[in-house]
Structure formats: C-alpha cells, structure tokens
Structure 1
Amino acid sequence: MQEKKKHIAGAYPPGVVITLDEMMRFEYYVQDIPLLPQHPVYTILAGRHASKLRGRGLDFEEVRIYVPGDDIRNIDWRVTARTGVTHSKVFNEEKERPTFIVVDQTSTLFFGSQERMKSVVAAQVAALSAFYTVRRGDRVGGIVFNEDGNEYIPSARSKSHVQYLLTCIAEMNAQLPLRTTVRPHTPVLNEILHRTGTLVTHDYVVTVISDFSEIDDDTIRHLQHIAAHNDVMLVHLTDPLDAQLPTGRLVLTDGNKQLLWNNESKHNGNSYTQNFETMKATLTERFRNYRIPVIFIDTALPVTSQIMHFFGKTNN
C-alpha cells in the first residue's frame, strides 16, 4: 500500500501532490524561527513562553467566565456576585500551549495556477506548525479531513507522533487527483469544526487551514465557540487566480455548466479583483471581533517566507 501511494505521488509534477518525505523536511525550516517572541501572539507559532495564558501565576491579567477545570481559588467573587455568572481571574504564567491543527484536504483545495495546489500548501503549513510546536516542547494533534471522512490524531509530544500526523495528511492528499467531482465544502468543514469544539478544552492553539471559500453562519458560530477558551488562527489559502483572471476571453466551468468570460467587458476584471480584496478585508474584520487572526497564504510564494514574515510583523 505504501509503495502504491509513493507511486501515485511520484506520477505528478511537484506541487500537485505532496509526499511524507517532503513534509518531514520542514523540521529543518523551523530552526530559524525564534523561540521567544517579544510579545504574546495568537498565531500558529505560539507555544511555551511567558504569555497571556489562562492559568494561575503571579501577575493579574484579566477576568473571564469560569471554565470547568479552573482553580476555584481564582474565582473572582465580586464580579461573580455583580454579574450572576461565575468568573475567574486570569494571570500571566509560563504554561504549555498544546496545538491542534485542522487540515482541509477536500476537493475544493485541489487547485493551483502556478507553483502548488492549495492542498499541498495546507500540508506544508501543517508540517511547519507541527514541527515548531514539538520543538517548543509542546504537544500537537489535530484532524485531517476530506469529503469521505477524517482522521483524528490525539495530542502528543514527539517527532514520531508528528510523522504519524503528516502520514495521515499525505494519504488524504494522494487521493485528490483521483477524484472526479467536487462536492459542497462548507457542511464538511462545519462538521469538523463542531467535532474540534468537543475535543479541545481550553488554552489550546487551534489552527484551521482551509480556503474558507463559502463559510456560513454555522462556520462562524463553531469558530466563535472554540475561540471562547482557546486561541484560534485561520490560515486562508489563496491563489493568484483568486485575485485576478488573465485578460482576454475565457471559458469558465464548474464541470456542468460553462460561462464565457471577458475581463475587459463591463469592467469584469476590476470587479473580480475588487470582490477578492473586499472578501479578505471583510473576513479579517469579521473575525477580529472574536480575536481570531487570519493569515493569508499564497500558493505562488514559499510557505516558510510567508509564515516568517507574518511572525515577524506580529512581534514588532
């Protein structure tokens, strides 16, 4: 079976299908990422360091709603009496930050116009996040999913465990070229987010990697629920064709119907690009209300440089 999967991956150009060996190489890329950011950050690179965590320590930080498992000694009785809802005090503390990675490998991600498929980039981001988490001494786990099912990987702290996680990603990634239809994406994503909300407790760094092409109110509700007691990061995968179509006449199809498109007709090209930029701005602003940062990763650029750029900006 493993030999067959290797053959399938080897039958396609680089960037179409990713192998386990390719993902394992990302262990070396994380060596250049600083272990101690100057400020607390809510990113896929968060981990074991002095940060704004929900726990018991020396310096009072804030008050939040009580979560089962909190130390009862930290209950703020004044706020509880005033609001009628049990609240806990939050302190600065050095504490483990387990990472939970949600990796989309559905058919909608089997798309890329230049360097890599979105599905391959999703796998690369997951590998980078997993190796960095283990390097920090924290646990990592997650869910890899497509339209037909999912694989849950419990959190653990070892290179062999990361290899198991990446093996699951490689196996689902290898199935994508064999698919002949694209099924609705949003219901599958929502189901996985609902399950994620039942698996993570609190103080996790939850990284969701997808293209979020058609999210709905349920998607936002599930993410808001997870973010209530965890730090959530959305990695939004984009492609140059998402932002701009080639000039001239094009024939576009969804597999069933065709559309003749001309960028120069009725300012179609400008409207297409403007809609993409509006989507990015709206998505960023919408999730900012829930303290959920969104990082956009382009399939045409190296993943490592984009992650490092984002990490550097966050810590400035």
Structure 2
Amino acid sequence: MGQHLNRAKRFFGTDTRGLLEGGRYALLHTRSMEFDDLRPYVPGDDVRDIDWRATARSGTVLIKRFVSEKHHKILLVADAGRNMTALAAGGETKRDVAEAILGAFGLITLGRSDEIGMVYGDARGCVSIRAGRGETHIESMLDHFYRHTATSPAPSSIEDQLRYVATHYRRRMLVVVVSDEPDVTLGLDEVTARLAARHDVLWAFVSDMPAVSGDSDGYDVATGAVVPSRTRLGRRVEVAYRRAEQRRRARLEAFLTTHAIPFTAIGRRDEIRPRLTAMAEVFARAG
C-alpha cells in the first residue's frame, strides 16, 4: 500500500467485514454461488440466506455471505479548504484526521466490488475524480486531496462541494461527506435536502480544537484574525463561548437528524475505528 492508505490502516485496521452492508443501503445486489463466510443478520437481509444450523449453534442469527454479494457505488465528498489546516480536537491537523477517515472508507472497498470516487475542493471550486477500484486508484485520490490541503487552499465551503454533487451526480450513490463542523445555513439546508432525497448520505465531522483551550493566543485559519487566550478573555467570556459552542453543535446534530443522515464527530485518528464502526451500524439498520 501507499503512504496514505498505510496511515489509514494504522488507525482503522484491515478487518472491514460487515461494514456498510444490509438494509436499503446495499445499493447494488449481485451474487455468485461461491460461499464466503457468515455474518450477523441485519434488518433488510434476505431471510432465505439465513444459515439455520449455524444460527442454532451460536444463538445469533447468521447470514450466509457469498462472493460479491453486495457492493456499492461510493462517492467521497471532502472539504479540502483552509479549515483543514486547523487543529482538530485531539491536537492533530484536521487534514491528517480527514485523510485517515477518507482512507478508512477506501480500505472498506478493497476486497469487494465497490467503486469509489471523490469530489473535493474549497471556495474556488471542485475537483471530481471518477470512480474506480483498487489500491492504486484510492491512493491517488488521497494524494490529490492531501496535496490540495497542503498548498495554500482557499477558504472552506463544503456547501459548494455538496452543490456540485447535487447538480452533477444524478445516479443514486452512497455519498460520504468528510468536513469540519459547518454552521447550519439556509443554503446548506437546501442542498443537503436535495442530496438526501436522491442519495444515501453519511457525514463524518472532524471536530474543532476549542478556540479558547490554551493560555496563549491563537489565530483563525479562515481569516488570520488573532484569537485571544482564555487568560486574556477571562472566565465569563470563556463560559459564554463554551455555551455558544454547545448550541452550535446541537443545531448541527438536529439538522442532520432532521434529514435522517447518520453522522459522527472525530477529534483524533485513534477514534476513527470505533466512531466509523458505530456509524456503520446505524447505517446498516436504516431502511
């Protein structure tokens, strides 16, 4: 594997069995007669595939899985703007966390018949990479994303990337959005409603480092403005800031819940495996 996929594998691993399967999200069903293995039943599976003997032995309903049983057409939609140069909640750059999240979804597609493409960009516009398969293709996508975020990107605007997808991708796909925590605006609400009506959507946020977390001044990567330390701001301002952040996150969560979009927030790379696995479980049960 290349350097980007290897970094993703370090935090996500290679065991992707059962992820993104089941329910209405199995977008394309094909099956050979070659038996592969067993996996737990999830709502939406064909009951004719239940292995009753194995179920009786284990006490858990198990499904026979066949080679090339189910596969998806997946589109990664990534914020590659200036916000990705900021620090995530765990102290890593958002770019590094986002790269590993995108790579994790790439790893999920390996060994299956999934096709995966990408749209990334910033306020200047979008880059669209056609869907393909295999390590070389995925590594190339990750490299394009990473290089863009590392070479003076423009301000972030995930709304622009989503609007591009809503306009140019008409065929039903599994759309995985990776961004920071955007403010909920009328424009974002409108384009998200359009996407959710046509596609199946997952959203992984790279959570923000608190702006008043340290004792030294910082700066806003979007504007370059100085952000005073909590020592300079004082306790009352810090408390007011934290309450405002809680309200902002509550609005974001309510927004996604309203659109029935499974989501997760990830603040550092060692959270990727458990957070994406939990989101995939919600994903599989929907339908």
The corresponding residue for 1:33 is 16
Q: 1:37 to 1:200 in 2, by over 3 A?
A: closer
CA contact 1:146–1:172 (8 Å) conserved in 2: no
Post-superposition Cα deviations, 1:52-108, rounded to whole Å, max 9, x if no partner, equal: 59xxx999xxxxxxxxxxxxxxxxxxxxxxxxxxxxxxxxxx753211001111111
The corresponding residue for 2:103 is 127
The correspondence for 1:224, drawn from 177, 193, 204, is 193
CA contact 1:48–1:136 (8 Å) conserved in 2: no
Q: 1:146 to 1:51 in 2, by over 3 A?
A: farther
The correspondence for 1:245, drawn from 213, 236, 243, is 213
Is 2:266 aligned against 1:297? Answer: yes
Q: Which has the higher contact order (CA 8 A, sep 6+)?
A: 2
**TM-score of the pair, normalised by structure 2:** 0.70
1: CA distance between counterparts of 2:21 and 2:224? 52
The corresponding residue for 1:185 is 156
The corresponding residue for 2:147 is 171
Q: 1:37 to 1:251 in 2, by over 3 A?
A: closer
- Percent identical among aligned pairs is 17
Q: Which runs of 5+ in 2 are unaligned?
A: 30-41, 49-68
Post-superposition Cα deviations, 1:247-302, rounded to whole Å, max 9, x if no partner, equal: x5x54544665464546735222222222222222211122111112210113744
Post-superposition Cα deviations, 1:155-178, rounded to whole Å, max 9, x if no partner, equal: 122222212212212321331xxx
1: CA distance between counterparts of 2:19 and 2:161? 32
For 1:213, what is the secondary structure of its paired residue? coil
The corresponding residue for 1:14 is none
Is 2:132 aligned against 1:156? Answer: yes
Is 2:103 aligned against 1:103? Answer: no
**TM-score of the pair, normalised by structure 1:** 0.65
Q: 1:241 to 1:159 in 2, by over 3 A?
A: same
Map 1:279-298 → 2, pairs under 5 A: 279-298=248-267
CA contact 1:145–1:151 (8 Å) conserved in 2: yes
Give the aligned CA root-mean-square deviation in angstroms. Answer: 3.6
CA-CA distance at 1:223 after TM superposition: 1.3
Q: 1:37 to 1:105 in 2, by over 3 A?
A: closer
- What is the letter of the counterpart of residue 96 of structure 1? H
- What is the letter of the counterpart of residue 23 of structure 1? L
For 2:126, what is the secondary structure of its paired residue? strand
Post-superposition Cα deviations, 1:97-128, rounded to whole Å, max 9, x if no partner, equal: 21100111111120116541111111111111
CA contact 1:142–1:152 (8 Å) conserved in 2: yes
2: CA distance between counterparts of 1:145 and 1:32? 30
| Matched residues, number | 248
CA-CA distance at 1:184 after TM superposition: 4.2
